[in-house]
């Protein structure tokens, strides 16, 4: 049995329709975690869909209730082959955003996978049922190719609350820290850089949402009688924001700017071109931090966004000075940003600028993560993907968006490799969510190759906590195990 056998079995799973059957069943379970009363369906996805499959493959499975009241349960599964073998942790989420059934195009439903050309439509195809289904099918292909062995140990964690902000995930990972410890996380979520570009990302930017409020008085006052006498909260708020971020998007508060882009990150991004895909907006060449490439601006830097801004009544404006203005703001940030002190940092800045009347309230935030691109696991994964696809994958130090990757990278503590099987035009979280058939097929092959290599000493699996050989530094080429 060879690496090629595993890849052929994974390809067959796609071509025989077996993958579609699995995905069809999974998409049909309406796991809308944002709906009150979704617990039974979330639980059913784990109990009735994933557990029987995994149990048949030799996984010991159990449901772990969420430490957060009312939030969806977790599935923890183990398959142990030997103490001297490397151990991988993988993760997926079984919940999806709401279906919004009525908004899908003619003939499509969120709860039935429908194929139109290359597109496989259905809620959760891209996020995340399709992606974790690819990884499970690839594990099975390797298991079959090795005659019932993987050559490594697997731990799986599925949550059912990701679309609600992963309630309880950090607490669970802290509680099961030893049980979930592994040499590496390999998981799939989010988009490739572009549909035709196999991608590895090593973490994600963080995000923190905050609200700015200017409440100056109780009611509105006629702008003719009072204009020039009363401070306008809309003017104050617009200027306060302008003091934080300039007209070209450059962040003007030192405390919210990241440290300089590390050399290894800069090198990894040197080849990365963002945008230019069909249906994507054109990148604004003169927006964002000066001196950075577009890829550095989105993957290696911070941005302040105005998500919503309101004063007066925009639907029915009147000639009056409104009493109140507010804005919903967001900072997207990379590793090294002091985001946990955002409230005090913004407060100090606004006070120093004379905007003492602007209130700052932090709503919620999630950490940024990034594995050093020079980590030996990164090179190992790059080689594996290149061998499978015949081309160098795109390497992103982190995703521009945000994933709960800090629980793996920081709470449990391991290098994190994400190999996404979706693409930027997938309509994730919107009507007509879909995956692309060719990306599914290639994703199955990539993951079969990656899991094969993990169980192959010759593939130079990096040194690990387990006794499973190896030098920290990657040496030697790949060769097929016979």
Residue facing Zn ion at closest CB distance:
127
Region from 121-129, 252-260, 366-374, 469-477 binding Zn ion, contact rule CB under 5 A: 121-129
Fill in the DSSP letter of residue 48: I
Query: Can you tell me the distance from the alpha carbon of 132 to that of 36, in angstroms, rounded to the nearest whole number?
Result: 25
Q: Among 397, 163, 457, 456, which residue's Cα sits nearest to residue 263?
A: 397
**Least distance (Å) between residue 159 CB and Zn ion:** 12
Q: What mask of x and - would describe binding to Zn ion in positions 123 to 162, judged by CB under 5 A? A: ----x-----------------------------------
Q: Which is nearer to Zn ion, 71 or 268 (CB)?
A: 71
Alpha carbons within 13 angstroms on the beta-carbon side of residue 336 total: 14
**Least distance (Å) between residue 211 CB and Zn ion:** 23
Report if residue 296 touches Zn ion, rule: CB under 5 A. Answer: no
β-pairing, 416-418 vs 184-187, is: parallel
Q: What mask of x and - would describe binding to Zn ion in positions 192 to 221, judged by CB under 5 A? A: ------------------------------
Q: Which is nearer to Zn ion, 132 or 297 (CB)?
A: 132
**Least distance (Å) between residue 426 CB and Zn ion:** 10
Q: What is the dihedral of CA 105, 46, 404, 186, to 10 degrees?
A: -100
Q: What is the dihedral of CA 373, 376, 381, 387, to 10 degrees?
A: 110
**Least distance (Å) between residue 112 CB and Zn ion:** 20
**Least distance (Å) between residue 374 CB and Zn ion:** 30
Q: Where are the alpha helices (DSSP H) in 334-433?
A: 342-352, 376-389, 406
Query: Can you tell me the distance from the alpha carbon of 150 to that of 135, in angstroms, rounded to the nearest whole number?
Result: 13
Region from 27-35, 65-73, 120-128, 259-267 binding Zn ion, contact rule CB under 5 A: 120-128
DSSP secondary structure letters along 406-421 = HIIIIII---EEE---
Region from 122-130, 242-250, 272-280, 409-417 binding Zn ion, contact rule CB under 5 A: 122-130
Report if residue 289 touches Zn ion, rule: CB under 5 A. Answer: no
CB 137 within 8 A of CB 13: yes
Interacting residue ranges for Zn ion, rule: CB under 5 A: 127
């Amino acid at each position: 049995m060879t690496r090629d056998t595993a890849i052929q079995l994974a390809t067959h799973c796609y071509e025989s329709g077996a993958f579609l059957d699995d995905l069809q069943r999974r998409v049909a379970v309406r796991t809308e975690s944002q709906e009150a009363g979704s617990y039974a369906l979330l639980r059913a996805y784990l109990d009735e869909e994933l557990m029987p499959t995994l149990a048949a493959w030799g996984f010991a499975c159990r449901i772990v209730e969420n430490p957060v009241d009312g939030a969806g349960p977790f599935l923890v599964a183990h398959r142990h082959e030997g103490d001297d073998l490397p151990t991988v942790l993988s993760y997926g989420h079984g919940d999806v955003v709401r279906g919004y059934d009525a908004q899908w195009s003619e003939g499509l439903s969120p709860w039935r996978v429908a194929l139109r050309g290359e597109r496989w439509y259905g809620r959760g195809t891209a996020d995340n049922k399709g992606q974790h289904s690819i990884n499970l099918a690839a594990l099975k292909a390797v298991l079959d190719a090795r005659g019932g062995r993987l050559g490594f140990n697997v731990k799986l964690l599925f949550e059912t609350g990701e679309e609600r902000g992963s309630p309880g995930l950090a607490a669970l990972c802290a509680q099961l820290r030893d049980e979930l410890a592994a040499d590496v996380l390999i998981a799939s979520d989010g988009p490739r850089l572009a549909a035709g570009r196999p991608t590895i990302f090593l973490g994600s930017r963080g995000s923190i949402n905050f609200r700015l409020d200017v409440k100056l008085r109780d009611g509105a006052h006629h702008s003719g009688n009072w204009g020039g006498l009363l401070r306008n909260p809309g003017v104050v708020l617009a200027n306060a924001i302008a003091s934080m971020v300039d007209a070209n998007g450059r962040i003007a508060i030192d405390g919210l700017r990241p440290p300089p882009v590390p050399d290894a990150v800069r090198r990894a991004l040197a080849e990365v071109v963002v945008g230019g895909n069909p249906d994507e907006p054109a990148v604004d060449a003169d927006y964002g931090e000066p001196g950075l490439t577009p890829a550095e601006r989105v993957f290696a830097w911070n941005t302040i966004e105005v998500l919503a801004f309101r004063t007066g009544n925009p639907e029915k404006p009147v000639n009056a000075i409104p009493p109140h203005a507010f804005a919903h703001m967001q900072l997207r940030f990379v590793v090294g940003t002091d985001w946990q002190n955002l409230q005090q940092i913004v407060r100090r800045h606004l006070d120093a600028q004379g905007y003492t009347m602007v209130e700052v309230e932090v709503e919620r935030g999630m950490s940024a993560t990034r594995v050093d691109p020079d980590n030996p696991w990164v090179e190992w994964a790059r080689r594996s993907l290149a061998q499978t696809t015949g081309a160098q994958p795109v390497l992103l130090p982190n995703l521009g968006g945000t994933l709960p990757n800090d629980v793996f990278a920081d709470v449990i503590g391991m290098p994190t490799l994400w190999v996404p099987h979706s693409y930027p035009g997938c309509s994730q979280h919107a009507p007509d969510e879909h995956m692309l058939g060719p990306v599914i097929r290639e994703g199955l092959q990539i993951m079969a190759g990656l899991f094969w290599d993990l169980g192959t000493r010759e593939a130079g699996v990096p040194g690990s906590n387990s006794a499973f050989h190896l030098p920290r530094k990657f040496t030697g080429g790949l060769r097929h195990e016979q």
